[in-house]
Amino acid sequence: MLVRSIRDRLSAVHPEFPKYLLAIAFMAVCGGIFENTYYNYLWDQFQIGERTRGHLELVREFPGLLNVLFLAIFAAIPETRVAAIAAAVTCVGMAGFGIAGHNWWVFLVLTLAWGTGSHIIMPIEKSLTMELGGETARGRRLGQVGAVRVAGSIVGAAAVLLVFASMTRPDAAAVVEEGARPPVLVDEMWRYDASFYVGALACALAAWMFWSMRQVGSRSKRPRLVLKREYWLYYVLSVLFGARKQVFLTFGRWVLVKIFLTPPPTFAWLWIAASVIGIWFNPWIGKVIDRVGERRILVIDSILLMVVCFGYGVSTHLPVAPAVQQGFVLAFFVLDQILFGLQAARSTYMGKIAQSKEDLTGSLSMGVTLDHVVAATIPSLGGWIWWKYGYEWVFVGAGGIAILMTFFANMIRTPDHRAGGEQSAEPPKRQVAAE
């Protein structure tokens, strides 16, 4: 009865809304599995070095640079069908990891497939959510879809916990003390294969849900890119965020995998912890942004990022037991995951300075593109720095990015915002507020 009641309420929003939420949930399950196994699999299967790890991000993020091209190719196809195709491509990548992922060159192709599918679906998901929300309930629908996505990713992390529940864990502390080459974390590679298959099944179900949707996404406009001098500060902040994000996505986990031998179940627990905190934190930070303004939030984000960089850089040099050092890094890892929620202030800043709705959508798309330009290139530099000078200097560099973020974030001025959340009674002189 409860399930039927929930279905009826969702169908009252739009007949296809229940299918859409299920598709989002299944894709999130796949994402939760991927994020908590892929990095460990890299180490256990291939034992790659820092430079190779950095170069690999170019393969994974390159499809993000081609998103506009992909969406243009599929311009005549309803967005639900494009989403189904993207989910199917992601499914091929996940299943392929389990079937033939032990071959390095095949693994690269599969990583490219996974990145292509996951990147194509990102802007389409936002567009479909907006359409299903109508003109009056878009914010509510975004919140509902976000909650479903978080719940699905937690289910994916829980699946990883189940698959790896009985694995034998190495003594990470002993390895760090002796300075020996870290051993394989998981001897039974079938555990990775099983996780990838579950993720592939989730993607297949998502593809089926998207494909079966009707009368949705057929009239949506594909976002165009907007590059205007008036929005230069937003573009700079997007570039800096792309660099900051990719340093931690690539090397934040790699420190835990290579130096501290952190196994998949630990990553899954960290993911669940950060997700649960995010369920409360993200809506709260949205209210705080409205109250104190984007400038203060992004400055605070940059300062806290400096703390995270410092924590990563000095962790292995602290005069404490290796297990305690690992505990520090785990705490900073969770803090960094939570800080991503503060970047909502970038989007709201763009919303306040945009001169039209078209400028807003196009500039946000340009921000994502610039983000991926940096994301596809900065890890190679980071990998070389780690190989040449040590991992600590990667986070010294990230700390420098945080300083630049503080400088530029402090330049933010919105046309209708004052300290304390009061609205200005004077019309903007140099910028025009969003319509």
Of 106-110, 139-143, 144-148, 300-304, least confident by mean pLDDT is 139-143
Say what percent of the chain tops pLDDT 90: 37
Of 116-130, 318-332, 351-365, least confident by mean pLDDT is 351-365
Q: What's the pTM? A: 0.81
User: Cα-atom radius of gyration of the chain, to the nearest Å?
Assistant: 22
Q: Tokens 């003390």 belong to which residue?
A: 177
| C-beta separation of 19 from 342 below 8 A | no
For the chain, helix, strand, coil in percent to 5 are: 80, 0, 20
What lies within 8 Å, CB to CB, of 228 at 6+ separation is 359, 363
- In this predicted model, what pLDDT tens digit does every residue of 342-368 receive, in sequence order? 877 887 788 788 877 677 767 777 777
Q: Is the pLDDT of residue 271 over 70?
A: yes
Average pLDDT of 191-203? 96
- CATH code of domain 1-222: 1.20.1250.20
Q: Is the pLDDT of residue 336 over 70?
A: yes
CATH superfamily of 224-418: MFS general substrate transporter like domains (1.20.1250.20)
The pLDDT value recorded for residue 175 is 45
Domain residue limits, the chain = 1-222, 224-418
Select the more confidently predicted residue: 24 or 68: 24
Mean pLDDT computed over every residue of the chain? 81
Domains 1-222 and 224-418 share a fold: yes
Burial of 423 (0-12, 13-18, 19+ CB in 10 A): exposed
The pLDDT value recorded for residue 420 is 37
Where does 101-214 have alpha helices with state H?
Answer: 104-133, 138-163, 172-178, 190-212
The pLDDT value recorded for residue 87 is 95
Select the more confidently predicted residue: 187 or 413: 413
Give dist(CA 177, CA 171) in Å, integer: 10
Q: Compute CA 335 distance to the chain's CA centroid, rounded to the nearest angstrom.
A: 15
Structure tokens at 29: 């399950």
- Between the alpha carbon of residue 141 and those of residues 28, 130, 131, 391, the distances in Å are 17, 7, 10, 42
The pLDDT value recorded for residue 11 is 54
Say what percent of the chain tops pLDDT 70: 82
Query: What one-character-per-residue DSSP string does 276-319 give?
Result: HHHHHHHHHHHHHHHHH-HHHHHHHHHHHHHHHHHHHHHGGGSS
The pLDDT value recorded for residue 198 is 97
